[in-house]
Amino acid sequence: MNICYFTCSTKYGGLEKVTVDISNSISLYNSVIVLVPNGCEYKDKFFKNIILVEYKSLDRRLNPFLYLEVYFILKKYKIDLVHTHASKATQIFYYLNKFMKLVHIATKHNARKGKIFNKIKYVTAVSNDAAKSIKNDNVKIIYNGIEPLELEDNKQKNEIFTITAIGRLDKIKGFDILIKEFSKIKNNAILQIVGEGNEYDNLTSIIKEFSLENKVKLLGFRKDIPVVINNSDLIIMSSLSEGFSIVMIESLFYAKLFISTKVSGCKDILTSKLIIEDFNIALKIDELINNYEEYKDEFSRIKNKYKNRFTLENISKEYFEYYSSILKIERR
């Protein structure tokens, strides 16, 4: 099977990690071509057996030169199936495919914008909310997954209760709200935020405004995310919107306790006890610190129920079976 993965993202985040991981896993047993923009930040993360093609044309949805370039790339490699990720790549290939007539699968990674997915014959979504946002009767939910590392549970108690949040420093992640709420908590704790992004200066300003320099640290980019999670007492997600968070999946394998705002994905697997309602973050943190073992037990039950479902091996198998079933239908 010759499969092409197509994404227009240049930055590396959760969506791009999913694309890389699925491409690498599927490439172990199939011929995989990955089509990405020129100069994308994550091209070195793909396996060497993958044919990586960087398109050179200006990255605009209605650029005719981009359509021509993608057309000739796909013709050259005799693709059986094209899998697009997110709305931009999906829209570009949707119009191009009116001429190419290839099997097209598109994945919607969140419940936000993306009317183009309503037009695609075969669509996957990474959460129930994402699926509900698509006006299409043929939507299949395939969650994200990771390849977990073997880590020993860190049972050592931190001197100060350690809370960690992870993600790109972007408004959508709600880190500004998190820091302001953290300033209200009554228990002794520290907050560390892992990630890079354009909100760095704003978050630094908020930390100074609330005199939290000794309590809140921006750690920047880290390669050892599983270890950081494992060494924390609590992983918190304060996002305004999510798809199916990789941080949540990583927490299922490595965290002692994980809580989140009421966003897609988390609503699929967390109990109400582990969901933060109406961004009342300070109240929830104080409540769980005061009842920590009870909350840990609640999260342990979630971990035992779900974590093996979200391994990359299982998710890749779901995708491959989906590809095979679609090709079988289309070749009749």
Within a domain: 152: no
Strands (E), the chain: 2-6, 31-37, 51-55, 81-85, 103-108, 122-125, 139-141, 161-166, 189-194, 216-220, 234-237, 258-261, 275-276
Asked whether residue 132 falls in the same domain as residue 33, the answer is: yes
Q: How far apart are CA 271 and CA 285, in angstroms?
A: 16
The pTM of the full predicted model, rounded to 2 decimals, is: 0.89
Q: Can you list the residues of the chain whose pLDDT is less than 50?
A: none
The reply to whether 292 falls in a domain is yes
Q: In angstroms, what CA-CA distances link 86 with 19, 110, 139?
A: 10, 9, 15
Q: Could you tell me if 53 and 118 lie in one domain?
A: yes
Per-residue confidence (pLDDT) for residue 294, from 0 to 100: 97
**Tokens read off for 52:** 């990586």
Q: Please state, in angstroms and rounded to a whole number, the distance separating the CA atoms of residues 309 and 326.
A: 23
Question: Which residues are within 8 A (CB) of 300 and not within 5 positions of it... i.e. 6 or more apart?
Answer: none
Rounded Cα distance between 243 and 34, Å, is 22
In a domain, 219, yes or no: yes
- Residue 169 sits in the same domain as residue 297: yes
pLDDT of amino acid 332: 78
Residues 315 and 297 in one domain: no
- 37-77 pLDDT, tens per residue? 998 999 999 999 999 999 999 888 889 999 999 999 999 99
326 and 275 belong to one structural domain: no
Question: Is residue 302 situated within a structural domain?
Answer: yes
Residue 199's CATH number: 3.40.50.2000
How far apart are alpha carbons 96 and 102 in whole angstroms?
10
Rounded distance, CA 259 to CA 276, Å? 7
Residue 216 structural domain:
161-309
What total number of domains does the chain contain? Answer: 2
Is position 155 within any domain? no
Residue type, 88: K
Query: Does 51 share its domain with 123?
Result: yes
* One domain, residues 10 and 141: yes
